[in-house]
Chain A
Amino acid sequence: MNSDSLLLTVAVVSVIIVLASVGFTYNSISTFRNFLTGFATEEGHVQVEIISAAAINITSAGGEIGSKTINWGPGAVAAGSDFAILATNGTVENADPTYTWATINGGFVIQNIGNVNVTLSVTSINATNFIGGTSPLFQYNVTNTKPGSCTFESGIVESTYIDFSDIATPVCSSFSSNPDNDTINMDVLLRIPRDAPPGALDTTVTLTYEQA
């Protein structure tokens, strides 16, 4: 009899806990009810609210789908040259034949994967702080992979290199979410002076965006 009472008590407690669980779930859904407005009326009509979702993604880097890293590896400026040029369009100029950097074919491919147009800004480190030496360059350009994807900000010209900056640089006043016009390519160029300090370099390019 005692064991029956114990079992009954456990069962009652478990039901109470489950009821509390259902209550919490219901409360959580109610909190977000303003996002979830699709319902069917008696007449059979359906109302659906599509949530604005601003989102972009780097889908490829260095010609490698799914990657977000471009790595030229080790290399040296050729003897007698003032600088070497590396770019993600396959350019490797004035590199030492013995210690040559990798050839990179493809920059950062950036796609608007949301459902609203967004602005796009680019931030990184400047050339002096990244590479050093005499007259280094650390630049990028943006090209519409799908025509009309990026409406360029004033002063930004498609496929024309500009310097990276540690201050966010607005690039696209509108980056389209239309699947036919939602992809751009960012090529990167480095000019490495022969007097640049040797060592491993590693930096980050940050994309910021907000609904246009």
Chain B
Amino acid sequence: MIIISLLIIAIVLSTVSIALNITFEKLIHPYAVLDTKPQGNLMLEIIENPENIGGNLNELR
């Protein structure tokens, strides 16, 4: 009987503890998904145009 009572107490306290933790997380992390230092990326590739190389050579001449 004592053992069953202790186990029931343990289960109840565990449930309360979990509920408190969930509530706590929701309250202190309402903006958890936000960037702290937002960054954007820019990408491109430059391909050498053979005709422009020719143009440069012509200018050199």
Q: Which residues of A contact B (CB under 8 A)?
A: 4, 7-8, 11-12, 14-15, 18-19, 21-22, 25-26, 28-29, 32, 35-36, 53, 55-58, 61, 68-81, 86, 96, 99, 101, 108, 110, 113-114, 124, 131, 186, 188, 190, 192, 194-208
Q: Assess the A201–B28 pair: CB atoms within 8 A.
A: no
Q: Which residues of A contact B39 (CB under 8 A)?
A: 58, 68, 204-207
Distance of B27 from chain A, by nearest CB (Å)? 6
- For B35, the closest partner residue in chain A by CB is A57
Given contacts A11-B3, A53-B31, A207-B37, contact A190 B44 (CB under 8 A): yes
User: In the bound complex, what is the Cα–Cα distance between A203 and B45 (angstroms)?
Assistant: 12
Task: Count residues of chain B with CB under 8 A from any CB of chain A.
Answer: 37
Q: Assess the B46–A18 pair: CB atoms within 8 A.
A: no
Q: Which residues of B contact A78 (CB under 8 A)?
A: 49
Given contacts A99-B47, A194-B55, contact A205 B20 (CB under 8 A): no
Q: Assess the A70–B24 pair: CB atoms within 8 A.
A: no
Q: Which residues of A contact B49 (CB under 8 A)?
A: 76-79, 96, 99, 194
User: In the bound complex, what is the Cα–Cα distance between A114 and B7 (angstroms)?
Assistant: 45
Q: Which residues of B contact A110 (CB under 8 A)?
A: 38
- For B48, the closest partner residue in chain A by CB is A198
Q: What 1/0 flags go to B1-45 for Cβ under 8 Å of A? A: 011001101100110110011001001101100110111111111
Distance of B43 from chain A, by nearest CB (Å)? 4
- For B30, the closest partner residue in chain A by CB is A53
Given contacts A8-B2, A15-B10, A207-B37, contact A73 B45 (CB under 8 A): yes
- For B23, the closest partner residue in chain A by CB is A29
Q: Assess the A25–B20 pair: CB atoms within 8 A.
A: yes
Given contacts A11-B3, A18-B14, contact A70 B47 (CB under 8 A): no
Q: Assess the A11–B7 pair: CB atoms within 8 A.
A: yes
- For B51, the closest partner residue in chain A by CB is A79
Q: Assess the B27–A36 pair: CB atoms within 8 A.
A: yes
